[in-house]
Amino acid sequence: MTKSFSEDTLILNALSPGITSMTAVYSALTLFTNLKKDGDTSSRFNIIFFQEDGPNYLENFTLNPEYIIMALKSLEPAIVKGNVGGGIFLGIAILIDVFKKISEKSFRLIILTDSGTPKISKLYLPVLETMIDQIKNMPFFMDIIRIDIEDLEEDTKLMKLAGICNGSIYRINNVDSLPSILEILALKREVSSETKYNSKQISIPKENQQFYINLAEYPIELTRPETCSICGLKDYNAMVKCPNCGIVAHKICWALWTEESTIGIPHIFRCHNCYNLIKLEKDFIEKVKLAKKVKEAQILPQKNILDIKEYLESLETQDGPKIVHIHDPMGIPSEEFIEEGYNFNENREEEIATEDGEEVRFILCPHCFKMITNQYKRCPNCHRILKN
């Protein structure tokens, strides 16, 4: 069985201003966003575009696509061609952040490239493949539009990346064909909803489950008497609260609630008040469910999850989202730097673990899933040990 979700679309603009007319891009993007809004009013948008010293994006996805065009226009003279590899990393990081807080969405990354767009460094590829494979279950789709580019080798590279998440490459001769491609891409992507847990989510294969388990947070344990937001009883014992919105519930009530809002892994679920991704111990949930079967449960989750459309509207700010500028796309050197013999060791933050002559590679930290190089003994992000 297939179905589709409301979509959050992130446009990655890696076009070169001297080569592709931005005016044509604005009208194509306006057509695209209008089609998406016509199809589903809860469609949201964001954009990544580059200045000389790093990328920009909107701090939040927005229901109002005019903010995308306004952001581009406001910085147009300073826009430069984009580092696609770094842009994909940044895009994935932005989307993972939204996934942790919002339910019932598909995530789309649409990449615009032309003949001035730099190639993706080979150093990026293995870790990009791993990341895309892991987030494809959110669900995530990446499509790449290539305007007037003759480069079979780069096409093959990009095709492989897009293929991991059921995405495609679209090759066009000039920007005039951009609207017709975006018209196709404005259609929602279908996902298979065959899962034994919850029809609102797709199933997550075993090998990718650890990634989602690590994204989820444990609720905070409380010691003072509080009222449970699920069963309505005031209690001293085993009360926990959501680390994001602070809503309080019995741990056991939340364990029973998991079936209603699991993401496809039984002990990973969403808060009924704010959609935050939460986890409880696997054993605890199994015990609670077993007890429920043996004896009729005294406590049943009465609370319905809040309406996603109303929730998305409540997140919009009156003046629109701010433009965020970061200096270095994920601290990753571009192809040019690598070819000129960029010295990774000068940028180290922790002990270096690579032996002389060992090739420096990008890896994902197995604990926090941040992208790092293989030269660290401890992860510079979560500080856990990577190797002896």
Residues that bind Zn ion (CB under 5 A): 228, 230-231, 242, 244-245, 250, 253, 271, 273-274, 276, 365, 367-368, 379, 381-382
Alpha helices, DSSP H only, in the chain? 22-39, 66-74, 84-99, 125-135, 152-164, 178-185, 206-215, 251-261, 282-294, 308-315, 335-339
Distance (Å, whole) CA 351 – CA 341: 21
Q: How far is the CB of 245 from Zn ion (least distance, A)?
A: 3
Sequence-separated (6 or more) residues with CB below 8 Å from residue 118: 81, 82, 83, 84, 334, 335, 336
By beta-carbon proximity to Zn ion, the closer residue of 14 and 305 is: 305
Helices 22-39 and 178-185: crossing angle in degrees, nearest 10, is 20
Q: Which is nearer to Zn ion, 178 or 285 (CB)?
A: 285
Question: 10 or 255, CB closer to Zn ion?
Answer: 255
Would you say 110 or 231 has its CB closer to Zn ion?
A: 231
Query: Tokens at residue 141, please?
Result: 């789709």
Q: How far is the CB of 314 from Zn ion (least distance, A)?
A: 14
For residue 387 the two structure tokens come to: 């190797």
List Cα–Cα distances, 231 to 137, 250, 287, 296, 359, in angstroms.
32, 8, 19, 15, 56
Cβ–Cβ under 8 Å, residues 234 and 261? no
Torsion over CA: 337, 340, 341, 343 (sign): negative
Nearer to Zn ion, 266 or 380 (CB): 380
Closer to Zn ion by CB, 68 or 231: give it: 231
